[in-house]
């Protein structure tokens, strides 16, 4: 990952040990750093914040994540802007680095588009947050902690399950609803999750998909997905709610998207669209209690304009009437 802001690390990093009542770290969205390397222009030699417990350099060192500074990251960004997402390597050597040899090695490395990330990012065992009577199951395809926090805030116990959990196991928790989370990579590399989503739709279990989860739900309902050239990365992406024509500022981080042309032959109606490039940002099932958004309603970071999406899920879960068959 490369950052375009020229000076990084001014505020340092807070402690993992500061947790909420459910034992979820307050200041982190994951249990570990998820990037494999960090590229910046300049590392601040001084970090100062009342809440910091370590510097950025110490954090990377602690988690054994390589970083490099002194790079013209804005020039690098221009290259990425022209070429789209690219393969890259960070190389350390006491001798002069042979660029051509590194390029040859990189050419034989597995392309990230074909990499299977789920066994890396998903939980290996079930985790429970809260003790309320009513449960929301979260299928973990790389879930952010803020998604769990938001479900807890609307009053439900959360059971987080691995990405490939079969529908029978999901239903054994008697869920009031299910959330299929965000995560990395191509949604078509999650066939077990797609199968579970199909069953959830068929059984009319209230379901919300977020980011990767939205793409998985789309595939489960006969839509198609495709890879964006650049992806959408940022905290100020405008999306239009087609129900009321309101524009919301959203947080986004994805490289794949639902094909808008495929919706006409799918089980979904378009709900949100991207104001910049007209890509699909949200879908609603035509009959069942199933909704999905491509953006991150939980934000963290970013604006909280779309936290109402979790209230939409709650409404679906609390409705007594079944969807039309």
Q: Is the pLDDT of residue 323 over 50?
A: no
* Domain C-terminal end among 109, 129, 157: 109
For residues 105 and 122, membership in a common domain is answered with: no
Percent pLDDT > 70 in the chain is: 98
For residues 305 and 213, membership in a common domain is answered with: yes
For residues 191 and 278, membership in a common domain is answered with: yes
Number of domains in the chain: 2
For residues 152 and 301, membership in a common domain is answered with: yes
User: What is the average pLDDT across 72-79?
Assistant: 95
| Residues classed as catalytic | 211, 296, 298
Q: Are strands 52-54 and 290-293 parallel, antiparallel or unpaired?
A: unpaired
| CATH at residue 91 | 3.50.30.20
Contact residues for 26 (Cβ-Cβ < 8 A; gap 6+): 14, 18, 19, 20
Residue 2 belongs to some domain of the structure: no
CA 178 to chain centre: 16
Instruction: Return the pLDDT at 111.
Output: 87
Instruction: Return the pLDDT at 113.
Output: 81
For residues 104 and 19, membership in a common domain is answered with: yes
User: What is the average pLDDT across 7-24?
Assistant: 96
b/e for 254-284, b at 16 or more Cβ within 10 A? bbbbbebebbeebbbebbbbbeeeebbbbbb
Residue 73 belongs to some domain of the structure: yes
User: What is the average pLDDT across 41-51?
Assistant: 95
The pTM score is: 0.93
| CATH at residue 272 | 3.40.50.880
Percent pLDDT > 90 in the chain is: 92
Q: pLDDT tens digit string along 161-172?
A: 999 999 999 999
For residues 188 and 313, membership in a common domain is answered with: yes
* Domain C-terminal end among 109, 144, 165: 109
Q: Are 146 and 29 in contact (CB under 8 A)?
A: yes
Boundaries of domain holding 27: 7-109
Residue 83 belongs to some domain of the structure: yes
Q: pLDDT tens digit string along 94-119?
A: 999 999 999 999 999 988 888 889 99
DSSP per position, 175-203? -SEEEE---SS-GGG-HHHHHHHHHHHHT
Instruction: Return the pLDDT at 47.
Output: 96
With residues binned 3-state (H G I as helix, E B as strand, rest as coil), the percentages for the chain, rounded to 5, are 25, 25, 45
User: What is the average pLDDT across 273-297?
Assistant: 98
Contact residues for 125 (Cβ-Cβ < 8 A; gap 6+): 162
Q: Are strands 127-129 and 157-162 parallel, antiparallel or unpaired?
A: antiparallel
User: What is the average pLDDT across 173-195?
Assistant: 97
Q: Is the pLDDT of residue 92 over 90?
A: no
Q: pLDDT tens digit string along 191-231?
A: 999 999 999 999 999 999 999 999 999 999 999 999 998 89
Confidence of residue 243 (pLDDT cuts 50, 70, 90): very high
For residues 182 and 302, membership in a common domain is answered with: yes
For residues 223 and 252, membership in a common domain is answered with: yes
Other CB atoms within 10 Å distance of the CB of residue 41: 19
For residues 24 and 131, membership in a common domain is answered with: no
Instruction: Return the pLDDT at 321.
Output: 44
């Amino acid at each position: 990952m490369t950052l375009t802001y020229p000076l990084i690390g001014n505020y340092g990093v807070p402690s993992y040990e500061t947790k909420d009542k459910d034992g979820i770290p307050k200041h982190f969205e994951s249990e570990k750093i998820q990037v494999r390397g960090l590229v910046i222009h300049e590392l601040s030699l001084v970090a100062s914040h009342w809440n910091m417990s370590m510097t950025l350099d110490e954090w990377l060192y602690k988690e054994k994540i390589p970083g490099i500074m002194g790079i013209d990251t804005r020039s690098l960004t221009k290259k990425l802007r022209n070429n789209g997402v690219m393969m890259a390597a960070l190389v350390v050597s006491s001798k002069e680095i042979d660029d051509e040899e590194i390029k040859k090695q990189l050419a034989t490395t597995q392309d990230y588009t074909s990499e299977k990330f789920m066994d890396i990012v998903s939980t290996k065992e079930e985790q429970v947050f809260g003790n309320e009577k009513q449960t929301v199951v979260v299928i973990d395809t790389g879930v952010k902690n803020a998604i769990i926090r938001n479900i807890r805030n609307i009053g439900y116990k959360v059971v987080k399950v691995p990405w490939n959990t079969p529908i029978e196991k999901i239903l054994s928790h008697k869920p009031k609803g299910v959330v299929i989370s965000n995560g990395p990579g191509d949604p078509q590399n999650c066939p077990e999750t797609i199968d579970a989503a199909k069953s959830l739709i068929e059984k009319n279990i209230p379901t919300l998909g977020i980011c990767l989860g939205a793409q998985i739900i789309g595939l489960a309902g006969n839509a198609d997905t495709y890879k964006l050239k650049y992806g959408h990365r940022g905290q100020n992406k405008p999306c239009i709610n087609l129900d009321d024509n309101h524009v919301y500022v959203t947080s986004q981080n994805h490289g794949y998207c639902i094909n808008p042309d495929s919706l006409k032959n799918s089980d979904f109606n378009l709900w949100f669209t991207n104001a910049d490039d007209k890509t699909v940002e949200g879908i609603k099932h035509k009959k069942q209690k199933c909704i999905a958004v491509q953006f991150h309603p939980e934000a963290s970071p970013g604006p909280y304009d779309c936290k109402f999406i979790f209230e939409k899920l709650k409404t679906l879960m609390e409705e007594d009437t079944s969807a039309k068959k």
